[in-house]
Structure 1
Amino acid sequence: MKLFRVKMQLIFMVLALMAVVPAWGDQAEDELTKLGFFTEKISDAPAPSPRPASRIAENVTVITAEQIESLNVHTLAEVLNTVPGIQLEQVRTPGSWSFFNIQGAISKHIQVLIDGVPQNDLVENAPDLGMISVQHIERVEIIKGAASAAWGQALGGVINIVTKSPEADKAVAGSVFSSYGQKSTSDMRGELSGTINRFGYYLSGGNLHSSGLVADNQINGNNAYGKITYDFPAKGYLTLGFDYRGAVRGLFSSSEFDVKDSDSSSYGYSFLNFVYPFHNRLKLDLLVRESRKTHEYFAHTYAGVLLGDFSYTARERTRGTSAKVTWGDSWRNLVVGVDYQHDTVSQRVTLLQADLDERVMDRWGIYTNGAYTIGDLTILPGIRFDDTGIDSNLFSYTLGATYQLTEKTVLRCYGAKGYSLPNALRVKPPEQVWTAQVGAESSQLPYVWLKGTFFYNHLWDIDNAYIPDLKQAVRQGGELEVRTVPLYGLFFTAGYTFTDARNRETNERIKTVPVHSAKLSLQYDDSHTGLRGVLTGNYVRWNAVPENGARDASVLWDLSLTKSISLREYAPELFFTVHNVFDNSQYQLFMLENTGRWLEGGMRFKF
């Protein structure tokens, strides 16, 4: 049986590699534009200043709503697990909590934002990606590497989520999504959107439920999101929005340690965003926000031994505002901004009290960055000052450059100093990093897009509870991505990341940082028959601590097929997904075993 499984995996790999073979003829030449990596379309992000893709110095990946839809996934965590350089520590029931890393940078080092509102909590500074539904996501913008000069606490990167805008051409539009799979795993969600006169609206909501694809990993979660926009008669617009997520989840159980744990979480925020262009080269952006979060964690011992039952409750409330002025165009621009945030955080713990039970903090920062283009060269400087509210004041810097070597090739490099805040209830200094990257992006070769990046990071003041003697580290390596032009509806993408993370004082390799990881994807899209398919593969070598009982060196394959019932505009779509096709194992800790092979199917209808 094992030999058969290996043979089948090799067949899948061969089929994927066949898509790399260059396509010939006019069709392939026309399809080059679909790669989209050299578009001059101006976007406000991922850089907080308007610039085309060829003038972004950082290593950036953008995932669109169309790409997310083709995967037929449920949460942001599942989307990110298909991105080169990003790795979830465990792949379990959809909606589960999962730590992740970007090129070895752990969750608490990554700044996650939705609509400009930070999603990282104050206690662990980590985002809960499993609770973020994909329904209302327009695109996900990922910066790999320190980006504090523009984004604040972003030692290891940024995940910036841009939500969907109201449907501009209809008074009422929307969609319904429904899926059902093994272990009563279901996802029911829908959205409504439209514009009436100058008012636009977007509303979405849903429920994600499962009795647990692995033992004691059940979930019942609800989410709701909405925004209302108003376009002023002359120019400018106002957006009022809210977001709510709540879930009760089983995390894991272990007969060896005689323990079972679970959690209950709720998170909500509201925001008011005012954007006003004074003229075509000067724009004001104001954001006011408030968020509240409650997280309860329970650990139960069957026999009441060890430490007995354990419970933990954390409550957070944040009020913040930011203002940003952008002057210039995509070739020459300057951004000046200021952020302020007032935090209240408290906890209740039955055992093992932390340094503090409650803390009130005021944080603020001021920054400026921009771009200056001379011919084919663009210089991208930035600086930021932060009063972190924990007796630490920090300066962050960045200096980047891009050079348009040819019409289809861009060279990039940048250096930056960044930071990440510690647990708000512990007396620790912020962790800091110096980072440098150099890379290139090109579609110069016929019918193939390539991107390569080398990175180097020096970290200090590290706060790692699992490696208490680790104070300084070096994390370096490289990443290579490739994508082919579609040929008869087929195209192939792949990414490989090598990360060498070491204790700077002892030169010993740091455990739990993946050394090798790879992402593979073979996609098919035939508009004439309405058939789409995506085959994704995820490979990782954990470099785990031996006691963890980790499993790796295998590929987790997921296959999803979607078929439109007819080719008419409002035809429903049916989809079917096989997760972990070959029932492989891939996890970093034996208590967090990944899901085996499981099936689900469903329907999507747009109107």
Structure 2
Amino acid sequence: MSFQDKAIKKRISVATIACAGAVLWLHGSVVPAWAENDEMKVLEMFYEDKELVVTPTRDPKPISQVAENVTVITAKEIQALNAHTLGEVLNTIPGVHVEPRVTPGGLSPTLSIQGSESNHVRVIMDGVTINNVSDFLADVGAIPVQRIAAVEIIKGPASSAWGSSLGGIINIITKSPDEGRKLGGTVSASMGERTTGDFRLELSGTRSSLGYYLAADGITSDGLLPHTGVDSGSVYGKMTWDPQEDTRVFATYSYSRGKRGLGEFPQYGLRQEGDYEHLIATLGMSHALSESLDLDIAGRFSHRDYSDVSGALGAGEGLNNNSYEQPNLGASAKLAWRTGIHSVIIGTDYDNGTIDADLRENGGTVRTKTHGRLERRAIFANDTIVWNNWSITPGLRYDWTSTSDDFFSPSLGVTYNLSDHTVLRAYVARGFNVPSLTATTVGAQGLQPNPHLEMEKVWSYQLGFETTFLRYLWLKNTVFRHDVSDFLAYDGATNSYVNQGKQRRQGVEVEVKSIPFFNTTIGVGYTFIDARDRLADERVPNIPRQTWDVSINYDDRKLLRGGLVGRYTQWNAREDFNSRENAMIWDLTGGVRFLTGQVSGEIFFVAHNLFNGSQYLHYFFRNPGRWFEGGLRFNF
């Protein structure tokens, strides 16, 4: 073991032992009677709207029985951020990194969980994978937030339930029809500098056995940095029908399109811009076969088109023009059987995705057309066994793919309720990531495909605990280690990707949050990641090494609310990236509520990058300086 590894293990161990020691010491102390009587009320403050999670086993279960490192953020918390897109929300979560943050709705930001590659993170909405089959990237900057009821994030591989997801899962749970009234909704509009605007409309209700949720939005901007303007819009709908008490039929539809500047690069005399058009539709049914047996089936269709153009600064013609069409057809089925101490889930997935690429180089004089297909089939099963204070969750999945080898993904999670307010967790899993069609079949400009690529593989180990024993504080601590093999690396000799890398990503996450006092809550998160090339025994660059997340929120639940959210990241960037990490970026939000008859409303504002700091990984993608926006929101 090298000196660096010993130092890293010592740093992780000290942080974990200190947190665990505090919990165990307090656990052995005398608990006042008032703490025992009000204990559950305190817990409810931290777990409001978060008691059940779906993503770990693909079926609702209490978060106290979840062994994975899971974070949940709700629509209420998203609204408090005044966020525009999913990317902005994710950039406030410890262990998750989204860069760059430029114009709302602009660029396609990179996404990382605990130091993973962007294509290792699987993003799901309504059971549909958002990632492209071409590069397996998910455009979280093109997903508006108003349709989101909650986002569940699994940090670390979740292949035993979802398949290809070496880095983690981001599951977007969309809003459902309002069952309390026939018609309700929200209208909001905001405007900011550089003609940056966000306009939203939501309608929801239930009539007899039919329910509906409809949303429309638009985001526009002239660009907070040169050539980063955006003009985008989307519509979303969800319909439910309950023909009988034990059956629900549902359908969803999402359509979005946008144009955006991807930046300009004076060093090379280039500018880039891109268009996208996304369509997603699902149709499914949930039926209770008996009191202990449920059946869920769903079909899905998605079609993602996008193009990118690069050209000379100040010139109208494009140097390169690439377009990609990616339709996908899929289906899933799941049986949930609950009996005694067991909750057994058995299911199957099928997806058939294709890509047609049209690559034009040198002003269109060189043109290449390619076609690729990725077919995936899988069966999976897991069981949550609850016995006394223990919860044991074994899981397994077998995947067949048309471009790579088959893969078997086992996992085992254990939780122990040390008391009503403290949960201990342990989790081990084997995960994988399917190489993209760009790497195996289609290729790209200047890149040759390699059809012999194998799946990237990982063994992941996690230990942690979560407690509210301190009554006024919620504390969560997780130690993780991900051993990655067959990592895809670029080979200059063949101008293609090859399986030749081995990496180890290990570290610790610590989160602390207070209950409201004088209507104010304070939260602090710290993440340490050490990523090493296991063959060269060198630190992997461009992976965040240390991150601090700080939040201070005020809400009197009547008139005023406000928040201050900050993030600092130590990038460990390559020297030629000219990164900046000498400032914490702070966003200040505020709102004043009012009530008129049946309509409630709010005047809100945001001061982004309040202290005009600079923090970015690469000087090509600098963060914007301080800018302001404000708006109105009406609920009826």
Relative to the length of structure 2, the TM-score reads 0.88
CA distance 1:83–1:569, change in 2 (3 Å): farther
Q: CA deviation at 1:445?
A: 1.6
Match of 2:342 in 1: 332
Conservation of the 8 A alpha-carbon contact between 2:526 and 2:546:
yes
Conservation of the 8 A alpha-carbon contact between 1:39 and 1:52:
no
Conservation of the 8 A alpha-carbon contact between 1:49 and 1:333:
no
In the alignment, structure 1 residue 443 sits paired with structure 2 residue 468: yes
In the alignment, structure 1 residue 295 sits paired with structure 2 residue 325: no
Q: CA deviation at 1:463?
A: 1.6
Greater displacement, 30-39 / 410-419:
30-39
Match of 1:13 in 2: none
Cα deviation, 1:575-599, whole Å, max 9, x if unaligned, reads: 0110000000111111111111000
Match of 1:7 in 2: none
Greater displacement, 24-33 / 454-463:
24-33
Match of 2:610 in 1: 581
Spell out the pairing of 1:267-286 with structure 2 (5 A cutoff): 267-286=278-297
Q: How many residues end up aligned between the 2 structures?
A: 581
Cα deviation, 1:276-306, whole Å, max 9, x if unaligned, reads: 01123211010100000111011112389xx
The amino acid of 1:519's aligned partner reads: D
CA distance 1:157–1:244, change in 2 (3 Å): same
Spell out the pairing of 1:2-17 with structure 2 (5 A cutoff): none
CA distance 1:255–1:524, change in 2 (3 Å): same
Which residue of 112, 120, 123 maps to 1:112?
Answer: 123
State the secondary structure of the residue aligned to 1:47.
coil
Q: Distance in 1 between matches of 2:373 and 2:40?
A: 58
Q: CA deviation at 1:106?
A: 2.2
Match of 1:497 in 2: 527
State the secondary structure of the residue aligned to 2:191.
strand
In the alignment, structure 1 residue 359 sits paired with structure 2 residue 395: no
Conservation of the 8 A alpha-carbon contact between 1:52 and 1:330:
no
In the alignment, structure 1 residue 64 sits paired with structure 2 residue 64: no
Cα deviation, 1:79-138, whole Å, max 9, x if unaligned, reads: 111111111121110112100211101221111101111100011101000110001100
Conservation of the 8 A alpha-carbon contact between 1:28 and 1:486:
no
Spell out the pairing of 1:494-573 with structure 2 (5 A cutoff): 494-528=524-558, 530-566=559-595, 570-573=599-602
Match of 1:246 in 2: 257
In the alignment, structure 1 residue 417 sits paired with structure 2 residue 430: yes
Spell out the pairing of 1:397-412 with structure 2 (5 A cutoff): 397-412=410-425
Structure 2 unaligned blocks of 5 or more: 1-31, 441-450
Which residue of 160, 169, 187 maps to 1:176?
Answer: 187
Match of 1:205 in 2: 216
CA distance 1:485–1:329, change in 2 (3 Å): farther
CA root-mean-square deviation: 2.3
Conservation of the 8 A alpha-carbon contact between 1:253 and 1:259:
yes
State the secondary structure of the residue aligned to 1:150.
helix
Q: Distance in 1 between matches of 2:525 and 2:110?
A: 21
Structure 1 unaligned blocks of 5 or more: 1-23
In the alignment, structure 1 residue 74 sits paired with structure 2 residue 84: yes
Q: Distance in 2 between matches of 1:135 and 1:466?
A: 43
Q: CA deviation at 1:392?
A: 1.3
Q: CA deviation at 1:569?
A: 5.3
Which residue of 506, 518, 531 maps to 1:488?
Answer: 518
Q: Distance in 1 between matches of 2:473 and 2:101?
A: 31
Q: Distance in 2 between matches of 1:291 and 1:39?
A: 30
Conservation of the 8 A alpha-carbon contact between 1:29 and 1:447:
no
Match of 2:386 in 1: 373
Conservation of the 8 A alpha-carbon contact between 2:319 and 2:361:
no
Q: Distance in 2 between matches of 1:330 and 1:187?
A: 50
Q: CA deviation at 1:38?
A: 9.3
Conservation of the 8 A alpha-carbon contact between 1:148 and 1:419:
yes
Conservation of the 8 A alpha-carbon contact between 1:46 and 1:142:
no
The amino acid of 2:458's aligned partner reads: V
The amino acid of 2:436's aligned partner reads: N
CA distance 1:234–1:527, change in 2 (3 Å): closer
State the secondary structure of the residue aligned to 1:563.
strand
Q: Distance in 2 between matches of 1:559 and 1:34?
A: 27
Q: CA deviation at 1:47?
A: 3.1
Cα deviation, 1:25-72, whole Å, max 9, x if unaligned, reads: 999978624433499944444431332111000000000011111111
CA distance 1:308–1:406, change in 2 (3 Å): same
The amino acid of 2:224's aligned partner reads: L
Conservation of the 8 A alpha-carbon contact between 2:56 and 2:68:
no
The amino acid of 1:159's aligned partner reads: I
Q: Distance in 2 between matches of 1:507 and 1:164?
A: 47
- Of the two structures, which has the highest relative contact order with CA contacts closer than 8 Å and spacing of 6 or more? 1
In the alignment, structure 1 residue 473 sits paired with structure 2 residue 498: no
In the alignment, structure 1 residue 431 sits paired with structure 2 residue 451: no
Conservation of the 8 A alpha-carbon contact between 2:404 and 2:434:
no
Greater displacement, 88-97 / 221-230:
88-97
Conservation of the 8 A alpha-carbon contact between 2:358 and 2:368:
no
Match of 1:10 in 2: none
The amino acid of 1:345's aligned partner reads: I
Q: CA deviation at 1:566?
A: 3.7
Cα deviation, 1:431-456, whole Å, max 9, x if unaligned, reads: 11110100000111231110000000
Q: Distance in 2 between matches of 1:112 and 1:147?
A: 12
Q: Distance in 1 between matches of 2:551 and 2:157?
A: 27
Conservation of the 8 A alpha-carbon contact between 1:270 and 1:289:
yes
State the secondary structure of the residue aligned to 2:429.
strand
CA distance 1:329–1:342, change in 2 (3 Å): same
Conservation of the 8 A alpha-carbon contact between 1:149 and 1:383:
yes
Q: Distance in 1 between matches of 2:318 and 2:147?
A: 42
Cα deviation, 1:496-520, whole Å, max 9, x if unaligned, reads: 1000000001110000000001111
The amino acid of 1:507's aligned partner reads: D
Relative to the length of structure 1, the TM-score reads 0.92
The amino acid of 1:506's aligned partner reads: A
Conservation of the 8 A alpha-carbon contact between 2:373 and 2:437:
no
State the secondary structure of the residue aligned to 1:32.
helix
Conservation of the 8 A alpha-carbon contact between 1:46 and 1:141:
no
The amino acid of 1:430's aligned partner reads: M
In the alignment, structure 1 residue 314 sits paired with structure 2 residue 324: yes
Cα deviation, 1:456-479, whole Å, max 9, x if unaligned, reads: 011112124499796110100000
Conservation of the 8 A alpha-carbon contact between 2:358 and 2:367:
no
